[in-house]
Structure 1
Amino acid sequence: MPALHLSRFSSLRAFGHRDFVHVWSGALVSNIGTWMETLALGVFVTTVTGRAEATGTIAALTYLPAVVLSPVGGALADRFDRRAYLAVGTLVQALLAAVLTVLAFTGRLSVPAVAVISFLNGCTNTLVNPAFSALINQVVPPEDLHSAVSLNSAQYNLGRIIGPSLAAVVLATGGAPWALLVNTLSFLAVLVALWRVQPQGRVGAQGREELWPGICRGARVARGDAGLFLLMMSTLVISALVAPFIGLVPVFAIRVFNQGAAATSLLVAAQGVGAVCAAVMLGPLVERLGRRRLLEGCLLLIGPVAALYWLAPTLHLAALAIVGLGALYMASLTGLNTSIQLRVPRELQARISSLYSMMLGVGYAVGVWLQGSLADRVGVRFITVTCAVLFLALGLTLRLLRPRAFEATEAPSDFFRSGTSNPSVHLDGPGEF
């Protein structure tokens, strides 16, 4: 698809790059399968246990490894050929999905088994995701990075639309084993896509850097740069207070509206619709408002919209509200991720991306488990609305006390301006805390 034909559609410019199209399409097929598995397992755990805490715990286990392994994944992704590294990780993911499938077909699927495999999946995803983000950064030029990040979020959320819809049909006709089988086979699409992408090789001289010094340098850069630190903390807070709406969808559908897989599928798909719409609109909105102003607006709006979703009196109103919530959530994370990636050179992007993933994973794991646990004690609506209001209060407080705080995220990082005189952050040698 020639880039010329896409020049007027800023949100779609990344589709003008052949390798990005391969990565995007392979990831889409895999994510459709992943969302089929996610919905099937969410319904299974909620139905078997009848507790929001159990559903939240399973969701948290997928993200808990990010606490420790995200920096390791980022450093490894900067040391090896990212295409080969991703291929190995994909094979491990396919093997774990196959184990779930066999357990389901043999009638041995249990909540403890789901918990263990979810944790192992989380470990693998944590190690692989920084390489995937960095690969996207390599296959598009910097001016098309926002388009690439938006379209990557769009494919993830297209999977969120298509996967649960297919899962609802498969669960009604064949049951959970067949949904899990589709997910296992979907990883073949990623392997084919990686085979078709041009070899990227190692990035710069970083392949020679030892693992621990590489991790330390990425952490030092994120801690020492004011803009990066603010973006990381924003990611942590939104993932802890707002993002748990994703993992608690089965609880909302089953416990609040007294419905099952079909209602869960509706809500998950509605969120995906909102996210895809946001991906299409982000390019023109960034050009009109600027990346910083758009990000600030989304962060201020997402709290009230999350509260409206949790307070919805009917399933259909909840589905309408989660369209808006999905759009704002996708726009917020895209803005945060893009701003983070544009502040660092390519040889550090995987490590900084891994720290972003760590903030997202830690916040989500703690948030979804804690909100799920409290929901069993004080009610689903009460705890989730309280968290949404708290997020809004924090955003307004930052806006009042530091009205120009996010301006630091627009300028190039002081660490990497040409002619920097800080010897501790040179890119040609290892650093330490």
Structure 2
Amino acid sequence: MMQTVAIGWLMATASTSDLMVALVQAASTLPSFILSVFVGAIADNLSRRGIMLVGRSLIAAASAILTALIALGFADPWVILGVSFVIGCGVALNDPAWQASIGDIVERRDIPPAVTLLNIGFNTIRSVGPALGGVAVASLGPLITLLLSTLSFAVPLGVIWRCKWSVQSTPLPRERIRTAIYDGARFTAISSVIKAAIARAALLGLAGIATLALLPLVVRDNLNGGPTEYGMLMAGFGSGAFFAGITAGHFRRLMSLEWLIKLACLACAACSASLAAASSVGAAATVLALGGAGWVLAWSGLGVSVQLASPRWVVGRTISIYYALTYGGIAAGSWIWGSVAENYSLSWALVGSAGALVLVAAVGFGLPVLENQDTDHDPVEGFEAPAVAVELRSRSGPIVVRIQYEIPDEKTEQFLALMHQRRRAQSRLGARHWTVERDLQEPGHWTETFRTPTWTDYLRLNHRRAAADKELNEGLLGLHKAEHPPVMKLSIERPAGHPRRADHIAPFIARI
């Protein structure tokens, strides 16, 4: 936060362009939009703690480089944006891995208060850091402030280095990055809960970032203040976020998650509109406290929704997609509202942001955010790989799975309704090209068919099954009329038109 104040004020004094000031937010958030999906796939396959160490190290290194450049007199606006982008890359590495680690550290029932606690911690620092940053910039200058913030990055690095937490192991090899990204994107696309949370988060970032992105201009142009006043206003924002955070549990008991997010968006809208008319630091700090309260309640609620809707095997990827589109919205919003402020006026930008936030709240009537607290995503243990008569390697495939059912005519509609759920469930777990077929000569004979790219992917699919998937299987079994359970057949695809390379090589070697 001290670094944020120093960089924001440094840009406000180094450039006369309102757009360049707003682009500091865009430069620091754009890497999360570009890199988060890739980082999420890594976080689900490698050590999340190790990824956090790399990300934090990059943040510290970039901060040290910026400090050195300022000391040498290179206070160019484009240099500031470039280093801000590198710092954003470190954040893009750290944040998805850190958020995905929450479920490794606490029980599922404790995820909502844990997410809120993280927001309280961050926004407590938001209420103290900017004030210290403003005082430091005013009394010591931006260079010393950047030096102090650079030295402070050793603290989280040391904490991550010393703290270790257990992670559920898997007997299967790591997924290939390309497959992991594909599976994560497909799971997110299928989950209506996650899609709603991501869409609302992107819109909230797009509409609501104007308050923070344009705050240096409010201080400089509307209030005729300096870095001390900027720090005081940021402290007001953080104080509101802190008090909202510690009362978030009470709010959740009073209303649904969706209504909480609606009210939070309206609070942010009121803050943005009132800030445009604020004529004193005290009035601006008061309305910013309201905005900070709405800000932390909205983001906590959206983060909880994504966390609870994501199984542990894919949580890094869903959170990374959530971060990518959220930061994409924030980066786009910083550019849009900065352009409006430069081409029209600062007041127009803030009032426009307020109107957009009201629309984001209204979107909730058609695209509500849900909290799946009762859904159990933990995998059910006990799966044993079926015996096969063909020698298979981990990369052997594609594997074709066929499950045959005998369904009475009077239960056809029930069966198809369950199959609709089955398709979504199997596809979320990694099944591809899923179909259900009805025998034309024996109408009671139905076949469910799907594919996995490799034998390992088939095993991974079954290791991912949760209690809800088991209940669905039991429902289908109840409709099956034959005495024996549904017959499952496994096969491996082989192209008929083109012989395998080994078929050509073996005769040649024999002749030699």
Q: TM-score range by the shorter chain?
A: 0.7 to 0.9
Separation in 2 of the partners of 1:272 and 1:266? 10
How many residue pairs get aligned? The number is 393
Given candidates 210, 231, 247, the residue that maps to 1:281 is 247
Alignment partner, residue 215 of structure 2: 249
1:421 corresponds to which letter in structure 2? R
Cα distance in 2 between the residues matched to 1:142 and 1:343: 11
Take 1:300 and 1:409, find their aligned partners in 2: how far apart are those partners?
20
- Which residue is equivalent to 2:368? 406
Q: State which of 67, 76, 88 in structure 1 corresponds to 2:33.
A: 67
Match of 2:154 in 1: 188
Q: Within 5 Å, which residues of 2 pair with 1:21-420?
A: 35-201=1-167, 204=170, 208-396=174-362, 398-399=364-365, 402=366, 405-406=367-368, 408-410=370-372
Q: Structure 1 residue 398: deviation in Å?
A: 4.7
Deviation (angstroms), 1:336: 0.4
For 2:54 and 2:251, the matched residues in 1 are separated by 38
Distance in 2, matches of 1:148 and 1:382, equals 38
Q: Distance in 1 between matches of 2:113 and 2:373?
A: 19
Higher helix share: 1
Kindly indicate whether residue 388 of structure 2 is the aligned counterpart of residue 421 of structure 1.
no
Distance 1:406 1:93 in 2: 36
Report the more deviating stretch, 232-241 or 169-178: 169-178
Distance 1:414 1:81 in 2: 24
Percent identity, aligned pairs only, is 26
Distance 1:45 1:112, change over 3 A: same
Pairwise CA distance, 1:412: 6.4
Q: Which amino acid aligns with 2:422?
A: S
Q: Which has the higher contact order (CA 8 A, sep 6+)?
A: 1
Closer, same or farther: CA 398–336 of 1 in aligned 2, 3 Å? closer
Aligned to 2:484: none
Structure 1: how far apart are the matches of 2:186 and 2:374?
A: 17
Letter of the aligned partner of 2:49 in structure 1? Answer: R
| TM superposition score normalised by structure 1 | 0.84
For 1:107, give the aligned amino acid: G
Runs of at least 5 residues in structure 2 that lack an aligned partner in the other structure = 381-417, 431-455, 462-512
Structure of greater Rg: 2
- Deviation at residue 132 of structure 1 after TM alignment: 0.9
Deviation of 1:407 (Å): 6.5
Shift of 1:411: 7.1
The alpha-carbon deviation at position 421 of structure 1 amounts to: 2.7
- Which structure shows the bigger proportion of residues in strand conformation? 2
Q: Is the 8 A contact 1:42 1:55 kept in 2?
A: yes
Give the deviation of 1:76 after TM superposition.
0.9
Q: 1:53 Cα shift?
A: 0.5
Contact 1:204 1:347 in 2 (8 A): no
Query: Is the contact made by 2:271 and 2:290 (CA closer than 8 Å) also made in structure 1?
Result: yes
Q: 1:158 to 1:336 in 2, by over 3 A?
A: same
**Structure 1 unaligned runs (5+)?**
1-34
8 Å contact kept, 2:203–2:360: no
Deviation at 1:387, TM superposition (A): 2.3
Q: What is the SS of the residue equivalent to 2:422?
A: coil
Q: What is the CA distance between 1:207 and its match in structure 2?
A: 6.2
1:275 CA drift (Å): 0.6
Give the drift of 1:276: 0.6
Distance, in Å, in 2 between the alignment partners of 1:407 and 1:120 is 33
